[in-house]
Structure 1
Amino acid sequence: MRLLALFVCLSVGCVAQRPKQCTSPPLLTGGLSVSSQNEKLLAFAKYSYDALRQRIRLTESGVYRNKTFQLDVLLLYRQRIMYKINSKNHTCCKRPLDVNFHPLAIPQNASLLAQVVLGSSSGPGQGVLVNTWVGEQQMNEGKAKYMSTVTEFGCIPVSTLFHTRRNGWMVTSFFNNIVGIADPLQLIPPPFCKDAQLEEEDGQGPATFFSVF
């Protein structure tokens, strides 16, 4: 009987340790890189992420189609507005943001691919335990495949691979993540954006999170 009870306890412990889908902290600050399979895009950005008020700030630079660029955008999903900010010239472009906010999270229908240690498990502080999940997401142009890796403890994003027919595989890697907002002013439009007029949509359609890159 004792042996049976011990077996049951061990079985429950194993089930409890199985990775589960999770949601990242609602406030995050850090850096990220984005690259495309077709080699048209390579970008690095600093980001501020606020899931509570549905706001994202991206300050990035990179290369797109062999041309360098710099971009500073503030995405306000509740107001459905995107600001393109030029702090050097104190100019601001205001455009529609026709997309719903999706928090950083592993969807409930995602499947666990693997749990591994990045780095080494030979000693304390030499590695980090992560979970990799795979699945499909419905997009306007059809289903898109994804593979997302997050830390086991804290659900901090590590990397995401996202595949669409238009761009092929897009790889986003996160680094220097901090739980919280380092500078709250980054998520508020600068004073010189106050009088910016909402621009009409052009032939390319309204601005979205993915069109920023």
Structure 2
Amino acid sequence: MYAAVVLVVFACLTDTIHADHHQPCHPPNMTGVMTVITMKGEIKAVGAFTYDSMGKKLRFRSNDSHPTNTSVGLDLLMFFEQGVFYEIDSKNQTCEKKKLDMDLNPLDIPDDAKFHSTITAGSRSIEGEGLKVNIWTGSIPNMKGYYSVSVTMGCLPVSVLYFSESAPMLFSNMEVDLEIKDPDLLLVPSFCLGQPLEESPEGTVNSFIHEFM
């Protein structure tokens, strides 16, 4: 995992030739496993995700699906286009509906992202021992930081590194399938229907990444 961080950082610091013809791609529907780790090597969460690319809907469940001693327990249903999300507690049949203050989506490339470079992780000279990825970068004004997204040639997100003053974090994906295996996971649970939008305390910022801070 540390090697992945070094790879992305190296890509961001390396001089590259920028190609104006590159346009950000958008990934297909996906099911997989996401790991969230700090730059200090602390695992914040490991969990299963389901992503609807067209609707920009994400369900992420940690602990119950992939328990780790250091991970936070989260069940999040994100509606990025609608600007709201749900924190779900299926065990107690409760949930909280909140406004998204920032639309940081670790499974998509922002439309205003800048193409940075194409690199090969592993070996370019040995067949089957390398993975070619495109690096896209951009700024995060609200966090006084920036991001670096790595995607395969088929636009599958491998990782995204968020740099900020408070808590730089790496989101990486594995065991990805190009399908939504359980569409019901992207529906608001019946016990959440009609839930009012909660008021956030002053100074609170709601986003997917802030759930792990």
TM-score w.r.t. the length of structure 1 is 0.74
Q: Specify the alignment match of 2:150 in structure 1.
A: 149
Q: For residue 73 of structure 1, give the secondary structure of its aligned residue in structure 2.
A: strand
- The 5-angstrom pairing of residues 169-208 of structure 1 reads 169-208=168-207
Q: Specify the alignment match of 1:52 in structure 2.
A: 54
Q: Specify the alignment match of 2:18 in structure 1.
A: none
Q: Percent identity?
A: 27
Contact 2:32 2:174 in 1 (8 A): yes
Q: Which runs of 5+ in 2 are unaligned?
A: 1-20
| Greater per-residue strand proportion | 1
- The 5-angstrom pairing of residues 35-184 of structure 1 reads 35-39=37-41, 41-61=43-63, 69-100=72-103, 104-105=108-109, 108-112=113-117, 114-118=118-122, 122-123=126-127, 126-133=128-135, 135-142=137-144, 144-152=145-153, 154-167=154-167, 169-184=168-183
Cα distance, 1:150–1:41 mapped onto 2, change above 3 Å:
same
Cα distance, 1:70–1:141 mapped onto 2, change above 3 Å:
closer
Contact 1:82 1:207 in 2 (8 A): no
Give the aligned residue type for 1:149: S
- The answer to which of 33-42 and 183-192 deviates more is 33-42
Contact 1:29 1:182 in 2 (8 A): yes
Deviation at 1:118, TM superposition (A): 3.7
Cα distance, 1:128–1:187 mapped onto 2, change above 3 Å:
farther
Alpha-carbon displacement from aligned partner over 1:59-81 (angstroms, at most 9, x marks no partner): 12377xx9653110101123322
CA distance in 2, matches of 1:95, 1:128: 41
The CA RMSD over aligned residues, in Å, is: 2.8
CA distance in 2, matches of 1:134, 1:84: 29
Work out which of the two has the higher radius of gyration on C-alpha atoms and give 1 or 2.
1
Give the aligned residue type for 2:206: A
Moved over 6 A (4+): none
Deviation at 1:162, TM superposition (A): 2.0
Q: Which runs of 5+ in 1 are unaligned?
A: 1-18
Q: Specify the alignment match of 1:11 in structure 2.
A: none
TM-score w.r.t. the length of structure 2 is 0.74
Give the aligned residue type for 1:150: V
Q: For residue 163 of structure 2, give the secondary structure of its aligned residue in structure 1.
A: strand
| Number of residue pairs matched by the alignment | 187
